[in-house]
Chain A
């Protein structure tokens, strides 16, 4: 079972390596969206500092959305998804491995690059840690919830827009807690509460998402 999970992660990373533009697009999108606000609003340090956590988090949501469409669609089109569903490992394990690969390619880069973007907003250095930690806890939740939506909208016409309408409202709690943690820390307060709730969301999603993704995929494959 672990062998199959390892194989899928390896395969998806190898495919991403052969098609680097796909990964770069989502990451560049994140950088550009987050950079547009200081340009549009102007150099008003206090205002920029105040909106930084929210803007960076919203950019992270949108960037994750952008890469979700590819999560299952390519495998569905060339028939490999059917092979994955008929593999030796349970479908729940397969989708967990695919979601993990998706996070490694779209979530983890956001965590690493977010402190660099925070510089544009003149965010104090002390907050970089909280920002990165909140993204580290939150982006896997985005990948998993997004995977449920991607599985449900697989093969549906206009699936991209439907996926956004379906998934973005579900991202709200993560957005509130993630941006909230950074705002609390910026106000000099304890941000542990928000981070713990993010952690709880992560555990809860990790427990039920594989089952939900597998069930949704089975329906889409019929």
Chain B
């Protein structure tokens, strides 16, 4: 489904990784491991098309992603290092707007269920939430993204408590079970039976 071909990444004149190739198939979970500064975030940004690789290419269902543009973005959810929630909006407003912008508008009822699943207070402004709750507010989008085949998550487990980790792990496993693909970065093993590991230190 998603294929990385001979990827090379350079940041600030320093090569982070070279000739990195892997394939992510339907129903697979890929864990990108590596030390701080090894290029995990850069790899994910290359995979979602925000960062062009120094060389090599990313292929989605047979076509390079640069050619697909929005047709590719519509088929992926990318959650970056920053939670991408607005401090002055409530968690519910943030989620509704994020879904609408992704072309996946959701009824009130579905939004409420998604936030309940990740145990986020719905009516508080995000600036009143803790770091972990902000992360949960951003992750709640995953509960509504079942039809989106590819999930790219940068450090989704940071700031989560053990119940949060369990909820997220369940959501990811569920997505893989219904044929979706997940790639996420982490430096600790969250105890997921990840089918594949790409280790950038190796």
Segment 133-173 of A: residues with Cβ below 8 Å from B: none
A89 to B101, CA, bound (A): 8
Which chain A residues lie closer than 8 Å to B48 at the CB level?
86
Which chain A residues lie closer than 8 Å to B86 at the CB level?
11, 15, 78, 80
Query: Known contacts A7-B97, A14-B93, A15-B86; is A79 also within 8 Å of B81 by CB?
Result: yes
Cβ-based interface call for B196 (8 A): no
Cβ-based interface call for B88 (8 A): yes
Query: Known contacts A19-B88, A79-B84; is A88 also within 8 Å of B74 by CB?
Result: yes
The answer on a CB contact under 8 Å between B97 and A18 is: no
A18 to B126, CA, bound (A): 13
Query: Known contacts A15-B86, A79-B80, A79-B81; is A85 also within 8 Å of B50 by CB?
Result: yes
From B70, B83, B101, name the one whose CB has the most chain A CB atoms within 10 angstroms: B101
The answer on a CB contact under 8 Å between A82 and B78 is: yes
**Interface size for chain B: under 10, 10 to 19, 20 to 34, or 35 or more residues?**
20 to 34
Cβ-based interface call for A83 (8 A): yes
Instruction: Tell me if A's interface is mostly helix, strand, loop or mixed.
Output: helix
The 10 A-B residue pairs with the shortest CB-CB distance, nearest first, are A88-B103, A79-B82, A79-B84, A18-B88, A87-B101, A7-B100, A86-B73, A80-B84, A83-B84, A79-B80
A15-B88, A78-B85 known; 16 other A-B pairs, CB under 8 Å?
A3-B100, A7-B97, A11-B97, A14-B89, A77-B82, A79-B81, A82-B80, A82-B82, A82-B84, A84-B101, A85-B50, A86-B49, A87-B70, A88-B73, A89-B70, A90-B70
